[in-house]
A and B are shown apart, each in its own frame.
Chain A
Amino acid sequence: MRPTWLALVAAEPSGASLRAPVREGGWLAAWDNADSAPETAWRVDPRALDPHGAETVVALAAAPAGISLPFDDPSVTGAIRAALSSEPAALCTTLLVEGRRYAGVLVAPPHLATPFATIFPQTTLHVGAGVLGRPAWPAGPGTQRYVGGVPWPWDRFEP
């Protein structure tokens, strides 16, 4: 199984499948399943993760701990529509918690996260190689995918 859980942690994690230092502080790391990931981890589109990925600059627009929105909240679907309307991102995955709740987004290059930055505050991270990839941008115009519980832009029913 490909790692689908991602977290920003203070110290280098020992059990993560993928990990890279973040210039602004801490480590960005991915795990194969929720059991081994920290409680603060988000479910992400597995295509966003790539052990061969280069170092990259991303925008992280994430909710404070304990805060999330329904994925169908108009602010979330509105941000997805705006993202699909604009320049395609090199990387984009929404961040899920508690199964299907929206807790933020990870986007590269950082300026493309603007539609999502109106929901939760955005920070820029310089992430080392070995975690994040450059998946193909979704075909559009879909904004939903419920059954797999895998965050947009994952575009299949099964994870």
Chain B
Amino acid sequence: MRSDLVPGAEFPDLHLSDHAGNPRALAELAGEDPVLLTFYRGWWCPKEQAFFRRLVELQDDAEVAYTRMVSISVDPPEVEAAFRAGLGARWTFLSDRHRRYLDELELRETTDPPHEPYTPTVLVLDPELAIRTVYNGYWYWGRPTRDELHRDLRDVTRDIRPQWEPPRETDLARAGRG
């Protein structure tokens, strides 16, 4: 990946079609929530099939934790839609079928010329698309565990939610007087 895309840096706002062919922007998908962003090789890769089953388990947490999930590949939207439906995924998949960002992000997997896929990469972003953590998933064990993602998302949420510590009655009373 590009050497400047490290924790603390801002991730580019990508503009791509979603799995249904609608134009989407990453910043719009992020809204005001933490984002789990995954670049994956494609539907055909057994490693992606294994890893995405893990993400499908995580989505049960994310759906109640105000957290967005976005996955990007070079598969066409209709292939992503089929992969997504087969997994039971309920988040947005983005298609870079024209490989618009593959080289800009320096995420081209150079060891797979036939497919020209993205190098498997997982990022946790804050709502402003600032990078919090990066996982290089070229080798499968480089990918994050569910526990690691839980910790990352807890850290982001603690930083961005002003009421991480539940307000006490005295705080509310003070705010009311102010």
What's the nearest-Cβ distance from chain B to residue A49, in Å?
19
Report the bound CA distance from A144 to B64 in whole Å. 6
Q: How far is the CB of B93 from chain A (nearest CB, A)?
A: 10
Contact of B90 among A84, A144, A155, A157 (CB under 8 A): A84
Main secondary structure of the interface of A (DSSP, over half): loop
> Is A137 in contact with B63, judged by CB distance below 8 angstroms?
no
Whether, in the assembled complex, A156 has its beta carbon less than 8 Å from a beta carbon of chain B, the answer is yes
Chain A, 121-148, CB within 8 A of any chain B CB: 136-137, 139-145
Question: How many angstroms between the C-alpha atoms of A142 and B89 in the bound complex?
Answer: 12
Binary A-proximity of B77-97 (CB < 8 A = 1, otherwise 0): 000000001001111100000
Q: Does B150 contact A (CB under 8 A)?
A: no
Known: A85-B85, A88-B22, A156-B32. A139 touches B92 (CB 8 A): yes
Give Cα A144 to B66, complex, Å: 8
Contact B67 A142 (CB under 8 A): yes
A140 and B68 form a contact (CB under 8 A): yes
Contact A137 B59 (CB under 8 A): no
Chain B interface bracket (under 10, 10 to 19, 20 to 34, 35 or more): 20 to 34
B134 touches A (CB below 8 Å)? no
- B70: A residues at CB distance < 8 A: 139
Give Cα A141–Cα B68 distance, bound, in whole angstroms: 7
- Specify the chain B residue showing the minimal Cβ separation from A156: B32
Using Cβ atoms and an 8 Å threshold, which residues of chain A touch B90? 81, 84-85, 140-141
A39 sits at the interface (CB 8 A): no
Please report which residues of chain B, range 13-41, place their CB below 8 angstroms from some CB of chain A when the two chains form the complex.
Answer: 18, 20, 22, 24, 28-33
CB distance from B32 to the nearest CB of A (A): 6
A98 within 8 A of B: no
Assembled-state Cα–Cα distance A157/B162 (Å) = 12
Evaluate contact between A142 and B32: CB separation under 8 angstroms. Answer: no
A87 interfacial by beta-carbon distance below 8 Å: yes
Please name the 9 residue pairs, one residue from A and one from B, whose CB atoms are nearest each other, closest first. Answer: A84-B90, A141-B90, A140-B91, A141-B63, A139-B29, A141-B59, A88-B20, A139-B68, A140-B90
30 residue pairs of the A-B complex, CB under 8 angstroms, read A81-B63, A81-B90, A84-B90, A84-B91, A85-B85, A85-B90, A86-B85, A87-B20, A136-B22, A136-B24, A137-B20, A137-B92, A139-B31, A139-B68, A140-B63, A140-B90, A140-B91, A140-B92, A141-B62, A141-B63, A141-B89, A142-B68, A143-B64, A144-B63, A144-B64, A145-B66, A155-B31, A155-B32, A156-B31, A156-B32
